[in-house]
Structure 1
Amino acid sequence: MSAPPTPLPLVLAGARGHGRWHLANIRRLQDQGVVRLAGICELTPLGPGELGTFAGEPPAQSADFGALLDSTGARAAVVCTPIQTHTELALTAAARGVHLLLEKPPAATYADYTRMTDAVREAGVACQIGFQSFGSHAVPAIRQLVRAGAIGTVQGYGAAGAWVRDDAYYRRAPWAGRRRIGGTDVVDGVLTNPLAHAVATALELADSGTADDVAGIDTQLFRANDIEADDTSCLRVTTAGGAPVTAAVTLCAERAGEPYVIVHGDRGRITFWYKQDRVLVQRAGRGPEEAVHGRTDLLENLAAHLAHGTPLLVPPHRTGAFMRVVEAVRTAPEPAALPAGAWYTEPATATTGARRVVRGIDALVAAGADTLSLFSELGAPWAHPSEVSTP
């Protein structure tokens, strides 16, 4: 009988904020014998309360990522740090032969993304980008439906996301809602970070995930909040394959809703609520069909790749098209401030802070995905065609 595989020793860089999710996921996989948390990299060490169930077996902690990788002998690292730090941390890991799960977006600029992909390739390390929705078993199921002609000829892919974020969201970190800090690009806008999955998932379903799959990008970037970055935006990616990919998203929704992607065919449509792994197929001559699919965890997939050669679900080249979007947003004109009459302030409640709401945005976002249209094409009075940039 062969010995059980040795758990993959890893370091978590960034254990607060969204990093808490990764910490809990590592706990789950450690209990299954898949991984072992060897260290945590944070500027300020986690206390016993933050370590939770790891407090009884505390991992090494250090603010020096490279030194922590060296001292722990980690074979992999999960990087969940501010966007502008991703590239340098990835380079630090690659230089030591350490494999990566790198949170999205993989970099703040296309040049940094290229530096990162070159470094991991030359070092021969595995790198998984943290688009969790790519692990949904709904993705190959939808592709198979499309290949089988279930909805006829595909006309396009429309993503929609209407989320709610209060004032505290933009005060949670110095980089929140910023396009740049000093001379460093951050690009923390709605399209590139909080609702990045909507854009990336639509591109993945369109089988247009690589940089070469992008023929052009139109963006319309707006903000209701007093921030640098965009909080209410839309885009259209013209793909090399011809089918357009659009996204309409906001953090200033009237009511929070589940984000989704619609695959439009000339004989039906498929709607994918990617956070729920839920799929609805509507086609001519048949009743609606709904299914909920399973999901493969990206860290578990990385461990399986290293142990058994299982293909990675989100290798860096599959996010090249998304990084073209990040670059288009980064180099676009500054997001236009919405006129005062376009939004109002929702007062704070016992559980949430005050927040800005764009009037009619929920219907506008849904219409964008339904018709593959930009805000200006839908007649939004504050959206003008002159605010569209095409890199």
Structure 2
Amino acid sequence: MKDHQMKLALVGIGGYGRNHARTIAGLQQDGLAQCVAYADVRLDANPDVCETLSGLGAASYTDYKEMLERHPEVDIVVVSTPIPLHVPMCTHIMEAGFHVLLEKPPAVTIQDMNAIADVQRRTGKRCQVDFQNTSGRAFRELLRMLDGGAVGRLQRVTGVGLWKRTWAYYQRTPWAGKLIHGGAYVLDGTVNNALSHLLNNCLIAAGSGRIPAAVPVAAQAELYKSIDIESENTVSARVRTEGGVEVLYYTTQNHVANDTPYIVAEGDRGSIRWSYDNKLVIREHDQEPREVAYEAEDLNRNMYLNLFDAVRGEGELYCPLEACHSFVLASNGIFESARGIVRIPDAYVGTRPEGDTEAIELKDAAALITQAAEEGLLYAEAGIPWATATPVFDLTGYTRFELFREGASPS
């Protein structure tokens, strides 16, 4: 293999790890990387992925620590394991001397986020968090335009994600829809997992790509569930950042279809809408809106190539670990403000057959949520009948998350 090829190891080959395996195979086929090894506690559960990776010449292991010990030549370790394992694995890997591509979220609690960030700073290892939607050309252009004052003074960033999920989705893994699993926080829902990309990108946009400006100082949020799960699947949230920008976040997994999530960044001289399909709609003051559509990109591949450049000292990461501090802080503030998950009454929820399972639908979800987003209101403020008002939670000096702590006081 050529010296310039990055040597990779993958931890976790099931679930989203299958996507990483495909990306790694493509990079090796193009002569850009070499898959040295892979590890999973249940290799037999994904024989096709094992066949692919072994076919690349990679050695297999059931213990990732043994893998690291046997392959010190590895440059980057990709971590695609269940959420509670991200912090201990990433910490061990960086301390063992390897750079990391870490699946999102990097951590669930702000105390764990601070701990893993301390390790990253101490070791000096690169850690790219795989919020791959940060890598698309449209989003990079959005940040450039916002930083350049294209909308004037940025005032508000609104993210809307309307997706459909079935009962099968909540049966995909033991921690699906759980707040805590195996004694560890998971907070599996739209905020911390399925639509976490949307919240993360909202916060990055709120800072116009500058990390300090995006730090949340207060959060107010309403968390709802439409079925018997622990965590949320419908959310409205308002986050205020250090830079004075209001971030609004609206999601549901109870829509009739998977609409394309989008963000609208509004300033005193215009607005820009960015969407997951790599498009921008730019509305400058007193001018007709114009759309800029970029070609489809392999966002996962982008994250790898960007990390390769950063490891070589040839560029900055699209989503370094430090940039995710705002995401984890906002996520924790959202749960602290909500103080619980409110069950939406059955009268507002329906199901319909979808293959061998059923899709869960919140009645009039698109109309209600879109109107609330357009008006900049949380669901209770918009008068939605199943909604419950919540207090603002002050995040100033906040360093420890405790789920629905008793006696928590609003700001």
User: Which residue of structure 2 aligns with residue 21 of structure 1?
Assistant: 19
User: Which residue of structure 2 aligns with residue 112 of structure 1?
Assistant: 112
User: Which residue of structure 1 aligns with residue 240 of structure 2?
Assistant: 238
* Cα RMSD (Å): 2.2
The one-character-per-residue Cα deviations of 1:274-324 (angstroms, maximum 9, x if unpaired) are x22111112343222111236661111111111243211111111111010
User: Which residue of structure 1 aligns with residue 358 of structure 2?
Assistant: 354
Structure 2: how far apart are the matches of 1:26 and 1:37? 7
SS in 1 for 2:55: coil
User: Which residue of structure 2 aligns with residue 286 of structure 1?
Assistant: 287
1:375 matches 2:373: no
User: Which residue of structure 1 aligns with residue 403 of structure 2?
Assistant: none
SS in 2 for 1:377: coil
Q: One-letter code of the match for 1:117?
A: A
Q: Which moved more, 1:331-340 or 1:117-126?
A: 331-340
The one-character-per-residue Cα deviations of 1:317-354 (angstroms, maximum 9, x if unpaired) are 111110102222454422111111121112x233x620
Structure 1: how far apart are the matches of 2:335 and 2:182? 14
- When residues 105 and 310 of structure 1 are mapped into structure 2, their CA distance, relative to the original with a 3 A threshold, is same
- When residues 71 and 12 of structure 1 are mapped into structure 2, their CA distance, relative to the original with a 3 A threshold, is same
Structure 2: how far apart are the matches of 1:240 and 1:62? 45
- When residues 381 and 66 of structure 1 are mapped into structure 2, their CA distance, relative to the original with a 3 A threshold, is same
1:319 matches 2:324: yes
User: Which residue of structure 2 aligns with residue 335 of structure 1?
Assistant: 341
1:53 CA displacement: 4.0
1:33 matches 2:35: no
Q: Which moved more, 1:370-379 or 1:11-20?
A: 370-379
1:172 matches 2:172: yes
Structure 2: how far apart are the matches of 1:384 and 1:329? 14
User: Which residue of structure 2 aligns with residue 219 of structure 1?
Assistant: 221
1:118 CA displacement: 0.8
Q: In structure 1, list runs of 5 or more residues that go unmatched.
A: none
User: Which residue of structure 1 aligns with residue 388 of structure 2?
Assistant: 384
1:214 CA displacement: 1.4
SS in 2 for 1:225: coil
Matches within 5 A, 1:1-391: 5-45=3-43, 48-51=47-50, 53-73=52-72, 74-207=74-207, 209-210=211-212, 213-273=215-275, 275-293=276-294, 297-331=302-336, 332-346=338-352, 348-350=353-355, 353-386=357-390
Q: Which moved more, 1:164-173 or 1:134-143?
A: 134-143
User: Which residue of structure 1 aligns with residue 398 of structure 2?
Assistant: none
The one-character-per-residue Cα deviations of 1:169-213 (angstroms, maximum 9, x if unpaired) are 111111111000253111112111100011010111111645972
SS in 1 for 2:381: helix
1:366 CA displacement: 2.1
Asked if the contact 1:254–1:360 (Cα under 8 Å) also holds between the matched residues in 2, the reply is: no
1:10 CA displacement: 1.5
Q: In structure 2, list runs of 5 or more residues that go unmatched.
A: 396-411
Q: One-letter code of the match for 1:160?
A: V
Structure 2: how far apart are the matches of 1:212 and 1:269? 18
Q: Output the TM-score relative to the length of structure 2.
A: 0.88
Asked if the contact 2:219–2:392 (Cα under 8 Å) also holds between the matched residues in 1, the reply is: no
1:268 CA displacement: 2.8
1:94 CA displacement: 1.1
Consecutive aligned runs of 4 or more in structure 1 exceeding 6 Å deviation: none
Asked if the contact 1:161–1:365 (Cα under 8 Å) also holds between the matched residues in 2, the reply is: no
Q: Output the TM-score relative to the length of structure 1.
A: 0.92
The one-character-per-residue Cα deviations of 1:335-376 (angstroms, maximum 9, x if unpaired) are 111111121112x233x6202111121123323432332111
User: Which residue of structure 1 aligns with residue 407 of structure 2?
Assistant: none
**What fraction of aligned residue pairs are identical, expressed as a percent?**
28
Structure 1: how far apart are the matches of 2:281 and 2:51? 38
Structure 1: how far apart are the matches of 2:256 and 2:354? 15
SS in 1 for 2:245: coil
Structure 2: how far apart are the matches of 1:388 and 1:182? 30
Structure 1: how far apart are the matches of 2:4 and 2:64? 23
The one-character-per-residue Cα deviations of 1:96-146 (angstroms, maximum 9, x if unpaired) are 111001111101211111111111211121111111111122234223333
- When residues 359 and 388 of structure 1 are mapped into structure 2, their CA distance, relative to the original with a 3 A threshold, is farther
1:147 CA displacement: 4.4
1:262 CA displacement: 0.4
SS in 1 for 2:194: coil
Instruction: Number of aligned residue pairs: give it.
Output: 386
